[in-house]
Amino acid sequence: MQRTLNKPVCLEGFGFWRCDDVVVTLNPADPDTGIVFIRDDVPSAPPIPAKLENRIAVERRTSLGIQKDGQTVVQVDMVEHLMAALFAAGITNCCVRVNAQELPALDGSALPYVEAVNSVGTVDQPGERIQKRVTQSIRVGTDKSYLEVEPPKPEDLTSTIRYELNYPHCPDIGKQEFSTELVPESLQKEVAPARTFATQDEARALQSAGLCQRVTTQNCLVFTGKGALDNQLRFPNECARHKVLDFTGDFYLGGIEWIGRFHGVGSGHALNSQLLEKLLLSVTRRQE
């Protein structure tokens, strides 16, 4: 079955990177619509389908845009947390209306989006949710940082992921590992609450460059060498869990629920998109 929201729900905040005030409204949508973003602040802007083909390469976040004659005519930034929440809630059809270029930072996790969807409920719709079993092993990246997937075992009905993170230059983070099944209960309770993070040096560098000016330790975990600054961890391995959150949101740009065994080591948005591209290509080849 496909699924949409029972009724609209609105969230307000400011963008993590650009820091503009922003209101985003999640609206029900018809079957087979998919996830679509609409910029209400850009007159006559075309809708932006949440598809890998519309991904724009931007560092440290996932952005989507529509291009014409080699120029981006409309863009929406930092969509990965919302996409992860929609996947966790089983939402296949949603019209996301936003009045700024970037979605709100909120608390730096996907939890506020999950709670918003749960507050209004969902509605099942006619039509199938696309599901594909991985049929071949694929790996992208280097020896030190990579993302790979293997076909599931015959008895597997869902995907799993094992993620390994290593920050030798920041012992607060250090080595972390997290494994989970990519199913709604686990994603909503064990992944969605995990917040974005940075070392104190990284945070200072970003703000010195004029970015993240309104971001505080309540929107981002900042590690000082003596723990998280002015905050408490929700999980001992919260950073590794947040990487799985990003993976989930990025992979939903394929519009497919994959069944396979994923393994990431130090991977991020770029490798997520590279592996997804290869998986989508493998499906296309099988259909030819």
- The answer to whether 17 and 77 are in contact (CB under 8 A) is yes
Amino acid at 79: V
pLDDT at 150: 97
pLDDT confidence band for 287 (50 / 70 / 90): low
Structural domain that includes position 38: 2-125
CATH number at residue 31: 3.30.230.20
Answer yes or no: is 200 within a domain. no
Active-site residue list: 269
CA distance 35 to 125: 14
- Does residue 144 carry a pLDDT above 90? yes
With contact defined as beta carbons under 8 Å apart, do 262 and 250 qualify? no
For residues 282 and 141, membership in a common domain is answered with yes
Residues 92, 169 within the same domain: no
Predicted confidence (pLDDT) per residue in 47-96, tens digit:
999 999 999 989 899 999 998 888 899 999 999 999 999 999 999 999 99
pTM: predicted TM-score of the whole model, two decimal places = 0.95
Query: Do residues 276 and 154 both lie within one domain?
Result: yes
> Which of the four pLDDT bands, split at 50, 70 and 90, describes residue 285?
low
Q: What is the pLDDT of residues 187-200, one digit of tens each?
A: 999 999 999 999 99
Indicate whether 160 and 26 sit together in one domain. no
Q: Which of 96, 125, 154 is the last residue of a domain?
A: 125
Q: Please say if the pLDDT value at position 284 is more than 90.
A: no
Lowest mean pLDDT among 160-164, 272-276, 283-287: 283-287
90/120 same-domain check: yes
Selection from 253, 239, 261, 260 nearest residue 162 by Cα? 261
Q: Which of 101, 125, 149 is the last residue of a domain?
A: 125
* 156-190 pLDDT per residue, tens: 999 999 999 999 989 999 999 999 999 999 999 99
For residues 158 and 75, membership in a common domain is answered with no
Total tally of structural domains belonging to the chain: 2
- If asked whether residues 137 and 121 sit together in one domain, one would say no
Q: Domain holding 251: CATH number?
A: 3.30.1700.10
- Alpha-carbon distance of 66 to 42, in angstroms, equals 13
Are 155 and 114 in the same domain? no
Mean pLDDT of the chain, nearest integer: 95
**Claim to verify: residue 108 and residue 59 sit in the same structural domain:** yes
Regarding whether 178 and 97 lie in a shared domain, the answer is no
Residues 116 and 145 in one domain: no
Is residue 12 located within the same domain as residue 116?
Answer: yes
